[in-house]
Structure 1
Amino acid sequence: MFRYLALAWNVDATQQCAAAQLLIDRLTARPKPWGRIEQSKGLCVLHRNFRQGSLDVQALPDQRGVLIGASFERLNDVTDDSAAPRFRPTVQQSEQIIASRGRWLVEHTWGNYVALLRDPAANRTWVLKDPTGSLPCFVTSFHGVQVIFGDIATLVSTQLFKFTINERYLRDRVLHGGVLDQRALDEVQTIYRGECVELGGTAQPRVFHWQPLHFVETSTAIEDPAFAARAMRATVRSCTRTLCSDHESILHRLSGGLDSSIIAACLADAPTPPRLTCYTYFTPGGRSDERPWARLAASRHRLQHQEHSVTADQIPLPKVMSLPPLVEPTASLGYLLRSSLEHQIAREHRATAVFCGDGGDSGFCGDTFAYAASEYLHRHGLRPHAFRLAARVAGLTEESTWTVMMKSLRRWRRGAGMEHQRRTVMSVSTLVDEALRASYADVSSFPHPWLAHLQTVPWSLVRRLGTLLATPEFYNVASGIDPPEVLAPLYSQPAMELFLRIPVDVHFQDGRERGLARQAFAHDVPAEIIRRHWKDRAPGIADRLVERHRGLLRELLLDGVLVEAQLLNRKAVEEALSERVSKSAIHPGELLRHLDVEVWARSWRSCALDARRRATA
């Protein structure tokens, strides 16, 4: 699996030079060697890649830094569906990147990368995280050496670092999970998507070279539905073609929904298509079944298609205890599905990438159509079309047109706060200690640096950004597994920027959820899927998993870190996991969410105990 670790230090500081050399020696002495790029004035990048794929490392000319990951040139025309070429920086481009402190890179390229940028003349170094990619970026220090990394397990394996849990993060993560603008580990700083940070410099205001608020401004809006649909289709095709060009064999998660069917069509139509295998999970005897829809999408383009059953018996929940150290908790159920099932399919097909339709619900505004009238009001004021939009929203939300219109007017004139979020959090945090629940009443801003400065919360934008607000989950796989890359073209930077420029009410074309996307890909996706306005899911997995492993959950949660710290209400957890409680009274989603945090906290406690044992040995 692709891994990287970069070191930046002051070559005039003897202690830092020694510390950097110690780290390099520990890593390069391993059985599986690391590649190395070294530059003058104290910059060294180590990298490993044991599977062919798109991620690589390349130096900028004249020792001006290193690009880690994958970067592609930007196409100037949003209606061009060609694959974008790899970005190979010239001397002049390298100078522009440094002169702009990375902004040039964000504006002229895209991909999944971390950039280490160096100004040799001024002896300054910056780290830049691309706006939408899944490769994470964190910074810590070791005796003055700045350590930039993606996989913290690599640092733990050196036995040179000590990491401690941020108690405030732990408390807030237990309460509502999701997005938190604070360190999970006291010693580790997260570099957010689109953020550029100077290494070793004095404290400075945060600099974001990519800010999603800029793309929803009225001045850049694309309001012509015909042009928007043409640009959407071309951009999604271009991004998909670009991302698959580095792979000879790929898998595609084909659920039969609109989003994954769109990606399947784009993959099938690539100029030089890779070996492509689609696969669909299903639950035998489930109340719904995605297979008929997935078969339609696969047969439309004559794609190889496999169907795999998934039951609670096949998901080895105890294996979550063997998760590698992670900077933040990961979703156990997704981890187990990938490690136990998806990676096996990938090995059978020698696939180096897994494509998916992730990002469609948010990007195509499937989660946001209820804001169509208020977004129109924001741009055009009170006009008759706003009432027509409200009536169409009402038809899908089972509310009256008057109710939708009044909500839209309030959002337009007054904005929105955290009140709805607080009610939602309370409804899904029934096992959390009451005092901790009460503390959430003071939260007034959305906890992400893109949005935290706003006096009101732009909930439509929050929903449109989807998982881009969360820390990338790239290394949440079992130790020793060499997994394929997971690629989501709908989350690529060109696609996201275009989706954001298209207003919600334009996405809501013809009063249909994801209406513009349905129009754009009407000739690529089976008509039955285009017309379909509901989703079948594989229900009951979480419920059955909790039921099957009730004893393990009782042991882990009742005797765990979260109950001990009085973050969870012990009595409520006991009742939820009691043998006497009916299935309808169990909270499977919340229980698994707390399990994720419990396992993560235990892993760091275990690391701390191991460090103390070594210190006293």
Structure 2
Amino acid sequence: MSPERYLLLVGAGQSPDPVAHAEAHLAPTDFQRHDIGAEITLFAPSALPVLRHDRYVVIGQIVGASSALLSDCCRPEQLIEHAWGNYIAIGLGVDGAPDWILRAPLGHLPAYRTNANGTEIIGSHAGLVLGAIGRAPALNWDFVKYHLAFAHLQTRQTGLLGIDELLGGECWDLTMDGPWQRRTIWTPWRWIAPDREITDPVKARQALRGSVECAVAGLIPRDMPCLLELSGGVDSSILAAALAAHGADARAVTLVTDEREGDERFYARAAATATGLPLAELAVPDKVDLAMPAAVRCARPGLPMTLSLADDLLAQKARTEIIGAFVSGAGGDCVFCSPGSAAPAADVLRRFGIGKAAWTAIDALARIHHASAWEVAKMAWRQARNATPPPAWPRTSGYLVNDALPETPPDHPWLEEPADVLPGKRSHVRAILAALAHVEGYGRQEVAPSRFPLLSQPVVETALRIPTWLWIENGRDRAVARTAWSGILPANVLDRRTKGGLDSYAIAMLDRNRNALRTFLLEGHIARSGLLDRPRLEAALARTARRGDAEVYLLFPLIDAEAWARTWLGAP
């Protein structure tokens, strides 16, 4: 079992009952009890680092500063400035009482929170939090409708009543009159300011490569066996190069499906050969049962059910080879600013006006998207001149009945953007936010933790400082990243324009499960909650699944949400 599990009780001195209940609940586990003053009790396995200073305690992985420098920190802002990682920090007043609780910016150690008899209870897993206080799970159907209507947006809200989440970069402060209050400490908008920009292409490449190598070295100890999920795409190949440069005890695995787009062995082999990482090739079975509960109880729907057998394969390999961590390039497209629109050219128009720079950006985007330069120019001009910001987050009906369809997305601090934000930087930040919604809830993380170097604080801060137009130089998406590893990774990987995927595999699985899914969805928990537009759902299930059919793609998040609900509630 992964060691990255903890349960934290703050204000425990006011009521001993939650502590006693938690201790009894955790007695059969390998959790150890740490009493930090009279008000704080921590339960965690011995393998989870716990660092104590006079003015704060850190749970988890913290890197980037010397012990002497860290010992001088007494405020969360100072900790963020000097260090980064996957940690939760508890600030202590001069009397040793709790003062603040911080979750690391872009940290992937979760912090689910509730309150019991005046005690704040925060844990790495929602099931730990509920079990420690003896509370039965109850689903939050309000969350479900937001989850289905606003895809890829993960906020403080969870799918369990009474439990919310402290987001990365947020702090839980104890106010003067007693109540705890949430405060955002880290925001991506600080890093897009013009005075922080890295406008020189050479310096941008150097800074990006340095940040990735720093992230890999900080997250992956050299002596810890790790398993890289290597597709042979630009992002995972860059991590292969960084792991090799670090001298990590790393090996790679690539997953292969029967569908042509799911076979990337040619590129994965090239990246593995260039970096010296041993490569295993695992065939993913083509018979996935989509109409079943998810394997892991999570606060929200996590693992896509179409990937369940692939997840099982990776978990089994980690058990066999005693892997200490999975390494994933998840979020690389988003962090490395792969453009989905004409926004980078709109940024140039806003910043420099009509001129050579604008036409260069327009030409680059036309080449990337195989589009007409005039069409790109029109789109960029409209975005540059449009003073009305786009909707806070894209909305889909997601098979919800009209009465259940929410009008606006739930709050997230990153959606509070500066008035003068450039269109491309808005898209860049939102893409990173969307990527963060897909890093939890995988069964393999119960075997070993996942590390996401490209979604770490050093890499994201550096990427945000690089203007969008540098990422599209010479008509290549992610150009800064591609050029930064030129001469290290093979040209056929760095110049790759195609992208593998599992669309065909997922569509085939949907067709194979069609009959079982009718009962699974139409008689499931979500249908019985009254949220679903049954006629529209029945029509979608009756059609042959085809790529490009938007109605078919909307079935996948619904399947995952129903599987998640059944994990908590059982069969309806």
Residues 154 and 436, structure 2, Cα contact 8 Å, conserved in 1 = no
CA contact (8 A) 2:10 2:119 kept: yes
What is the CA distance between 1:434 and its match in structure 2?
3.9
1:166 counterpart (124, 127, 140): 140
Superposition deviation, residue 432 in structure 1: 3.0
Aligned partner (choices 187, 194, 200) of residue 162 of structure 2: 187
Q: How many residues align?
A: 566
2:350·2:422 contact (CA, 8 Å) conserved in 1?
Answer: no
Gaps of 5+ in 2: none
Q: Residues 393 and 289 of structure 1: is their aligned pair in 2 closer, same or farther, counting only changes over 3 Å? A: same
Q: Partner of 1:553 in structure 2?
A: 517
Question: 1:207: how far off?
Answer: 2.1
Match of 2:92 in 1: 118
| Cα distance in 1 between the residues matched to 2:181 and 2:355 | 41
CA distance in 1: counterparts of 2:303 and 2:58, whole angstroms: 29
SS at match of 1:499: helix
Q: CA deviation at 1:337?
A: 4.0
- Contact between 1:180 and 1:447, CA under 8 Å: does it hold in 2? no
Q: What are the residue-to-residue correspondences of 1:44-443 with 2, within 5 Å?
A: 44-48=41-45, 55-60=48-53, 62=54, 64-74=55-65, 88=67, 90=68, 93-94=70-71, 96-98=72-74, 100=75, 102-121=76-95, 123-158=97-132, 160-181=134-155, 183-184=157-158, 185-199=160-174, 206-245=182-221, 247-270=223-246, 272-274=247-249, 276-286=250-260, 289-313=263-287, 315-318=288-291, 320-321=292-293, 323-333=295-305, 336-337=308-309, 339-367=311-339, 370-415=342-387, 417-418=389-390, 422=394, 425=396, 429=398, 431-437=399-405, 439-440=406-407, 443=408
The question of whether the paired residues in 1 share the 8 Å contact of 2:174 and 2:180 is answered with no
Distance in 2 between the 1:470 and 1:293 partners? Answer: 23
- Displacement of 1:589 after TM fit? 3.1
Residues 34, 46 of structure 1: 8 Å contact kept: yes
The residue identity in structure 1 corresponding to 2:110 is P
For residues 88-111 of structure 1, the C-alpha deviation after alignment (integer angstroms, 9 at most, x for no partner) is 3x4x744x432x3x1111110011
2:12 counterpart of 1:39: no
- Which residue in the other structure is 1:509 paired with? 473
> What's the CA shift string for 1:90-144, capped at 9, x where partnerless?
4x744x432x3x1111110011111111214384421101111211112111111
Give the match's secondary structure for 2:139.
Answer: coil
Does the 8 A contact of 1:111 with 1:133 survive in 2?
Answer: yes
**1: CA distance between counterparts of 2:276 and 2:96?**
57
Question: How far, CA to CA, are the matches of 2:457 and 2:536 in structure 1?
Answer: 43
CA contact (8 A) 1:9 1:17 kept: no
Q: Following TM superposition, by how much is the alpha carbon of 1:535 offset from its aligned partner in structure 2, in angstroms?
A: 1.3
State the distance in 2 between where 1:288 and 1:602 align: 29
- Separation in 1, partners of 2:436, 2:485: 31
Q: Tell me the percent identity.
A: 26
Q: State the TM-score, normalized to the length of structure 1.
A: 0.84
Question: What is the rounded CA distance, in whole Å, between the counterparts of 2:356 and 2:452 in structure 1?
Answer: 38
Q: 1:461 to 1:20 in 2, by over 3 A?
A: farther
Q: Alpha carbons of 1:115 and 1:204: their partners in 2 closer, same or farther (altered >3 Å)?
A: closer
**Structure 2 CA distance for partners of 1:473 and 1:287, relative to 1, 3 Å:** closer
Task: Output the CA distance in 2 between the equivalents of 1:363 and 1:586.
Answer: 26
Give distance in 1, aligned partners of 2:126 and 2:182. 23
**Structure 1 residues 467, 161: CA separation in 2 closer, same or farther (over 3 Å shift)?**
farther
With over 3 angstroms needed to count, the CA separation of the structure-2 counterparts of 1:581 and 1:529, relative to structure 1, is closer
**Residues 451-470 of structure 1 mapped to structure 2, 5 A cutoff:** 451-452=415-416, 460-461=424-425, 463-465=427-429, 466-469=431-434
Cα deviation, residue 305, structure 1: 1.2
The one-letter amino acid of 1:21's match is A
On the 8 A contact 1:192/1:471 being kept in 2, the answer is no
Deviates more, 1:322-331 or 1:255-264: 322-331
Q: 1:285 offset after TM fit, Å?
A: 4.9
Secondary structure, in 3 states, of the residue corresponding to 1:3?
coil
Counterpart residue identity of residue 348, structure 2: Y
Kept in 2, the 8 Å contact 1:446–1:452? The answer is no
Which segment is superposed worse, 202-211 or 221-230?
202-211
| 1:433 positional shift | 2.3
Structure-2 change in CA distance of 1:208 and 1:176 (3 Å) = closer
Q: Which amino acid aligns with 2:20?
A: Q
Report the Cα offset of residue 38 of structure 1.
1.1
Structure 1 residue 211, shift from structure 2 partner:
0.8
TM-superposition CA deviations, 1:326-368 (whole Å, max 9, x none): 2111133376145411111112222111112222201111135
- Give the structure 1 partner of residue 5 of structure 2: 3
- Between 407-416 and 387-396, the greater mean CA deviation after superposition: 407-416
CA separation of 1:335 and 1:49: change in aligned 2, threshold 3 A:
farther
- Give the conservation status (yes or no) of the 8 Å contact 2:103–2:170: yes
Q: Does residue 453 of structure 2 align to residue 489 of structure 1?
A: yes
Give the match for residue 529 of structure 1: 493
Q: 1:143 and 1:217, CA in 2 relative to 1: closer, same or farther beyond 3 A?
A: same
Amino acid at match of 1:290: E
Unaligned 5+ runs, structure 1:
75-86, 610-617
The one-letter code sitting in structure 2 at the alignment partner of 1:210 is W
Q: Deviations for 1:237-267, whole angstroms, at most 9, x for unmatched residues?
A: 2221222225431111111111111111111
Structure 1 residues 586 and 396, CA gap change in structure 2 (3 angstroms)? closer
Q: 1:180 to 1:23 in 2, by over 3 A?
A: same
Q: 2:46, 2:267 → 1: CA distance? A: 37
The 1:359/1:339 distance shift into structure 2, 3 A limit, reads: closer
- Whether the aligned pair in 2 keeps the contact of 1:126 and 1:198 (CA below 8 Å) is yes
One-letter code of the match for 2:190?
H
Note the 1:10-21 alignment, pairs <5 A: 11=13, 13=14, 16-21=15-20
Q: Which residue of 2 aligns with 1:78?
A: none
Query: In the aligned structure 2, how far is the partner of 1:606 from the partner of 1:288?
Result: 33
Output one character per residue of 1:512-533: Cα deviation in whole Å (capped at 9) or x when no partner. Answer: 1111111111011101112222
Deviation (angstroms), 1:471: 6.2
Cα offset for 1:176? 2.9
Equivalent position to 1:500, from 458, 464, 488 = 464
Task: Determine helix, strand or coil for the equivalent of 1:227.
Answer: helix
SS at match of 1:425: coil
Q: Could you tell me which amino acid in structure 2 is paired with residue 68 of structure 1?
A: I
Structure 1 residues 356 and 247: alpha-carbon distance in aligned structure 2, compared to 1, 3 A threshold: farther
**Secondary structure of 2:263's partner?**
coil
Deviation at 1:370, TM superposition (A): 3.1
Which residue matches 2:441? 476
CA distance in 2, matches of 1:10, 1:267: 42
Letter in 2 for 1:392: A
Instruction: Give the superposition deviation at 1:497.
Output: 0.5
Asked if 1 retains the 8 angstrom alpha-carbon contact of 2:335 and 2:432, the reply is: no
**Distance change (3 Å), C-alpha of 1:108 and 1:334:** farther
* One-letter code aligned to 1:328: R
Report if aligned partners of 1:263, 1:357 keep a CA contact under 8 Å in 2. Answer: yes
8 Å CA contact 2:230–2:252 kept in 1: the answer is yes
Deviation at 1:574, TM superposition (A): 1.9
